[in-house]
Amino acid sequence: MFVAAAALGVSVLAGCGSVPGAGSGPIQVVAGENFWGDVAAQIGGSHVKVTSVISNPDDDPHEYESSSRNAIAVATSRLVIENGLGYDDFMGKLVDSSGAHPKVIDVADVLGVGGDDPNPHLWYDTAKLPEVAAAIAADLGALDPKHKGVFEANAKTFDTSLQPLLDVIAQIKSQYAGTKIAYTERVPGYLVDAAGLELGVPASFTQAVEDGSDPSPRDTVAFDDAIKNRTVKVLLYNAQVTDTQTTQIKQLAATSGVPVVGVTETMPPSYQHIQDWQLAQARDLLTALQKAKG
């Protein structure tokens, strides 16, 4: 049912001659995650049909294995969007096994992010989202030249819609730059950096949690002390991860009077667009900082 079976489903489909060409109708787009799919949908409008492989907040992209349904979606796509940096390796496998040759946008490549163990949660780097939007608009325009102007205009509208989010981040930076915070994983790392906040717990602790391993006893003590002594003013945690350690950290923050903010990797279904979701989380962070100061 997963990748191996998916490849079989794709080969059958391709054998039937169903892989789309440059014909009429909406452009079939497949995104690894629903937030990138949302950006594509906003830019493409009625001229695209978007499938997002990961839409369920309960799915862990780091451990996800795709189904034959998603493999077929890739096989019939003309544009594929992947996050890159190893975050959604399943997308590359789907494309390779599909027999199709869609355009592929690797967001990490678009943003020029690489190096030794970079933070893969690129959708939290709000200031760079217009670069992703421009890349999507360009590829859609190449696939559908008749509506190139529409895609470009929609990308500009998307860029403008980010301003309320950028304003909140700027407000945090102007009022709280240099404030130490804690997070259990690097999920909100780009947001924290953009807001001028500083990580007040060992980075090796958060890396271990993200990698699914146990932090060292030394890092654990340092993390707990930062909470107990309130040298960090806010705790951010990955709300999609529920384990004993995260629960204990949240409880310690509550008893120590450190405000807690939950963030998610996947856009929850309660939000229509990525900018709405990220704005709500930035506002939650601002509120927590205000509460900590008070």
Domains of the chain, start order: 3-161 (3.40.50.1980), 164-293 (3.40.50.1980)
pLDDT at res. 241: 77
pLDDT at res. 245: 84
The pLDDT of residue 73 is above 60: yes
The pLDDT of residue 2 is above 90: no
CB 203 within 8 A of CB 215: no
* Tens digits of residue pLDDT in 171-183: 999 999 999 999 9
CB-hemisphere CA count at 13 Å for 148?
7
Q: Are strands 103-106 and 235-238 parallel, antiparallel or unpaired?
A: unpaired
Residue reference for tokens 């509550």: 254
CA distance 70 to 92: 12
pLDDT at res. 23: 56
pLDDT at res. 8: 34
Q: Which of 19-28, 46-55, 156-165, 283-292 has the lowest mean pLDDT?
A: 19-28
CA distance 65 to 56: 13
User: Shortest CA distance to 29 belongs to which of 161, 187, 157, 135?
Assistant: 135
Longest dimension (CA), the chain: 66
- The more confidently predicted of residues 114 and 62 is 114
pLDDT at res. 243: 80
pLDDT at res. 153: 98
* Tens digits of residue pLDDT in 209-258: 888 889 999 999 999 999 999 999 999 999 887 788 889 999 999 999 99
Stated pTM of the model: 0.90
The pLDDT of residue 19 is above 50: no
Helices (H), 162-273: 163-176, 189-194, 203-211, 217-228, 244-256
CA distance 99 to 173: 48
Q: In terms of residues, how long is the chain?
A: 294
Main-chain dihedrals φ then ψ at residue 266, nearest 5 degrees:
-100, 145
* Tokens coding 18: 């169903």
Work out the average pLDDT over 27-41. 97
